[in-house]
């Protein structure tokens, strides 16, 4: 078992696996470089490939004795046009173009739209965006089986290009047949998080959760304008949120995305649930070993905003420099968090506590860390809720989270500042103090003389009973009874 020190940063890095990173040696290198969790994109690859990656990640957990979260990102109900007689066609600027239910191959004047629900949802004046917005159509007329449009921006259109509908809520289920099969596979493999794509309403989340039966946490991907209208309900229903700027940037004007990103991050942070900022963060590193200055600023901005997680997509899945991309993101995050003004920046958002003992003690942990030389906050939790409360306060010191559940430990890997440790439960105050001290020493949170705040609930082992806060000082002798490698 390899000894692994805590990350020297609080924001987490989520790296997407793919052809460039599925080799076990590369995956290990990504973890060493700074990846805290891995995203499996179910839009690509087959179950055999993903199963092999599951096994590799779980082997890394054992090698480094550190919980690692796996997020399986479902493809979702992607809308696409049909095929063309010659594989592609050119739509002229200002020309009329028809989308219909005729399965015959298309040309420069028409193509099949194999989604009957769109014919009922669309109205004159609304937009259709094709191929990530490269082609922009405006609906002129909708009849049975026919949508007549004018091309505000024309261009080359080819087989099965994606269609975005920014102006209408399309009555399609959040889970396709493929998504259901992928979700069942992910549950069998033991995924920790499920990414639900193209969420439009909280009911989409409830549908997926019904199938999941509590076996994983659900991350709602905000990438549709319709989701913004019901943002607070969606956050309430989900366990975490992803600012999926790819499709969101297609369906909205580019200048609308940055303020929305801040709105989503802030709204999610108020709940204590993790929020992920994703898509094109270090896009140029797909081909280049160094990012642009604008990309560095983009990552830094998300860290300054207090996001729990920053994500790499194609940079690690298919890029030429996957390890370097993780190292760069890690370096940017550490540089930002070393800024003297960082703590004040992430606390600019007022996160008022609920009138509960648990919330009051979580807030006290933050203020104690500001007042005395505290090395860490040690949180004992069964469900992870106490850890979320503490992390919501954005304390200046790391949060070591001790839980008897490996499942909970993996899930809270995506939580800002959290260092999860799966360990046997405690049964008394004396055992809590002894174990907290040992774990703080063993996991690198100070040596002799270091002070640690311990947060727990009495009676021990009862979820939701957080009512105890205690400050201890380490002596350095706490490991003698339980040397490294002992089962705890």
What is the predicted pLDDT for the residue at 44?
A: 92
pLDDT band at 5 (very low <50, low <70, confident <90, very high): confident
Q: Is the dihedral of CA 260, 266, 272, 276 positive or negative?
A: positive
| List 39, 110, 394, 442, catalytic entry | 39
What is the predicted pLDDT for the residue at 6?
A: 84
What is the predicted pLDDT for the residue at 353?
A: 85
CATH topology of domain 79-164: M1 Pyruvate Kinase; Domain 3 (2.40.33)
Given a cut of 50, whether residue 63 has pLDDT beyond it is yes
Domain ranges in the chain are 12-76+173-344, 79-164, 357-473
What is the mean pLDDT of the segment spanning 54-63? 97
Region for residue 183 given its phi and psi (left: phi exceeds 0; alpha: psi -120 to 50; beta: otherwise): alpha
293 in catalytic set: no
pLDDT digits (tens, 9 = 90+) for 150-167: 999 999 999 999 999 999
What is the predicted pLDDT for the residue at 174?
A: 85
The structure tokens listed for 235 are: 């956050």
What span, in angstroms and rounded, lies between the C-alpha atoms of 100 and 98? 6
221 in catalytic set: yes
pLDDT digits (tens, 9 = 90+) for 244-256: 998 898 989 889 9
| List 221, 410, 438, 451, catalytic entry | 221
Locus of tokens 């069998």: 188
What is the predicted pLDDT for the residue at 217?
A: 98
39 in catalytic set: yes
What is the predicted pLDDT for the residue at 27?
A: 97
pLDDT band at 460 (very low <50, low <70, confident <90, very high): confident
Name which of 80, 104, 235 is nearest 161 in CA terms: 80
Given a cut of 50, whether residue 398 has pLDDT beyond it is yes
Q: Which residues of 229-266 are buried (b: 16+ CB within 10 A; e: fewer)?
A: ebbeebbebbbbbbbbbebbbbbbeeeebeebbbebbb
Contact 88, 97 (CB under 8 A): no
Given a cut of 60, whether residue 483 has pLDDT beyond it is no
| List 58, 78, 80, 215, catalytic entry | 80
What is the mean pLDDT of the segment spanning 456-469? 81
263 in catalytic set: no
What is the mean pLDDT of the segment spanning 61-74? 96
| List 279, 316, 351, 466, catalytic entry | 279
Please say whether the structural domain 357-473 has been given the CATH code 3.40.50.10470. Answer: no
Name which of 298-307, 433-442, 463-472 the model is least confident about. 463-472
pLDDT above 90 as % of the chain:
86
pLDDT digits (tens, 9 = 90+) for 211-245: 999 999 999 999 999 999 999 999 999 999 999 99
pLDDT digits (tens, 9 = 90+) for 9-45: 999 999 999 999 999 999 999 999 999 999 999 999 9
Quote the pTM value: 0.93
pLDDT band at 487 (very low <50, low <70, confident <90, very high): very low
User: Helix (H, G, I), strand (E, B), or coil: what is residue 104?
Assistant: coil
Domain spanning 12-76+173-344, CATH class: alpha beta
CA angle 374, 381, 195 (to 5 degrees): 105
Given a cut of 80, whether residue 463 has pLDDT beyond it is no
């Amino acid at each position: 078992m390899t000894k692994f020190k805590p990350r020297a940063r609080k924001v987490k890095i989520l790296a997407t696996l793919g052809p460039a990173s599925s080799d076990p040696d590369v995956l290990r290198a990504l973890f060493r470089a700074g990846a805290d969790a891995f995203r499996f994109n179910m839009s690509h690859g087959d179950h055999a490939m993903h199963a092999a990656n599951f096994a590799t990640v779980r082997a890394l957990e054992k090698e480094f004795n550190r919980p690692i979260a796996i997020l399986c990102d479902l493809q979702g109900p992607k809308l696409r046009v049909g095929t063309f007689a010659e594989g592609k066609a050119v739509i002229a600027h200002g020309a009329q173009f028809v989308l219909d239910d005729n399965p015959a191959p298309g040309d420069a004047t028409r193509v099949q739209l194999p989604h009957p629900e769109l014919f009922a949802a669309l109205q004159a004046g609304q937009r259709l965006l094709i191929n990530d917005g490269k082609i922009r159509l405006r609906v002129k007329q909708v009849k049975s089986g026919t949508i007549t449009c004018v091309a505000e921006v024309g261009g080359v259109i080819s087989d099965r290009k994606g269609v975005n509908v920014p102006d209408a809520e399309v009555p399609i289920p959040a889970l396709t047949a493929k998504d259901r099969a992928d979700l069942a596979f992910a549950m069998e493999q033991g995924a920790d998080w499920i990414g639900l794509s193209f969420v439009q309403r909280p009911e989409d989340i409830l549908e997926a959760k019904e199938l999941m039966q509590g076996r994983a946490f659900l991350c709602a991907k905000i990438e549709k304008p319709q989701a913004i209208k019901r943002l607070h309900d969606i956050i309430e229903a989900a366990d975490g949120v992803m600012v999926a700027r790819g499709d969101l940037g297609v369906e909205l004007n580019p200048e609308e995305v940055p303020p929305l990103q801040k709105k989503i991050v802030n709204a999610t942070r108020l709940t204590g649930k993790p929020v992920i900022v994703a898509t094109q963060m270090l896009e140029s590193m797909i081909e280049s070993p160094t990012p642009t200055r604008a990309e560095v600023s983009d990552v830094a901005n998300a860290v300054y905003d207090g996001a729990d997680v920053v994500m790499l997509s194609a940079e690690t899945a298919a890029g030429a420099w996957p390890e370097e991309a993780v190292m760069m993101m890690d370096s940017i995050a550490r540089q930002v968090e070393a800024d003297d003004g960082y703590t004040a920046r992430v606390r600019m958002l007022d996160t008022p506590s609920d009138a509960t003992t648990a919330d009051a003690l979580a807030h006290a942990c933050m203020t104690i860390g500001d007042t005395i030389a505290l090395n860490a906050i040690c949180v004992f939790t069964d469900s992870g809720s106490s850890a979320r409360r503490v992390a919501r306060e954005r304390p200046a010191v790391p949060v070591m989270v001790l839980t008897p559940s490996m499942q909970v430990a993996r899930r809270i890997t995506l939580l800002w500042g959290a260092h999860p440790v799966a360990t046997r439960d405690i049964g008394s105050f004396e055992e809590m103090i002894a174990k907290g001290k040992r774990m703080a020493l063993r996991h690198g949170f100070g040596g002799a003389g270091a002070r640690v705040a311990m947060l727990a609930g009495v009676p021990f082992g009862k979820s939701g009973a957080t009512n105890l806060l205690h400050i201890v000082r380490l002596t350095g002798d706490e490991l003698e009874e339980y040397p490294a490698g002992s089962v705890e």
